[in-house]
Amino acid sequence: MQQLAVWRVPYDSEVSHTVAVVTAELVANAVTHGRLPGRDFRFSLLRLPGHVRVEVTDARPERLLPTVPAAEVRSLEADSGRGLLLVAAYAERWGCEVRDTCTKTVWAEIACPY
């Protein structure tokens, strides 16, 4: 997260850790669920007033995310299924937008006082 350092967000801060966790989850979802042969995903990190915004765009607009993570909690032994719960817990806001016919963007905003 070199970009956070450029924005003067301390490396070992809660903001830095939160951005890393949210980024890892959204990118992992794009790689796992948003892939098409020959098409990659795009990752963007934006500085907004009071927030850092993580955006991950993939090639599967037909696979929309639920607006609220599933209420049921997966078994602790399950390998997957809890990632969006983490995103919802860490992010101030998050969502999914279809901006064109070929892509969707999942985004999360993390509060940043720096």
Domain residue extents for the chain: 2-68+80-111
Strand 104-111 versus strand 51-58 pairing type: antiparallel
| Residue 36, SS3 per DSSP | strand
Best CA proximity match to 52, nearest among 95, 91, 12: 91
pTM of the model: 0.84
The identity of residue 60, as a single letter, is R
Q: What is the pLDDT of residue 77?
A: 62
| Superfamily for the 2-68+80-111 domain | Histidine kinase-like ATPase, C-terminal domain (3.30.565.10)
- In tens digits, the chain (114 residues) has pLDDT values of 799 999 999 999 999 999 999 999 999 999 988 888 888 899 999 999 999 999 999 998 887 765 555 555 555 565 566 788 889 999 999 999 998 999 999 999 999 999
Q: What is the pLDDT of residue 45?
A: 97
Structure tokens at 64: 């929309």
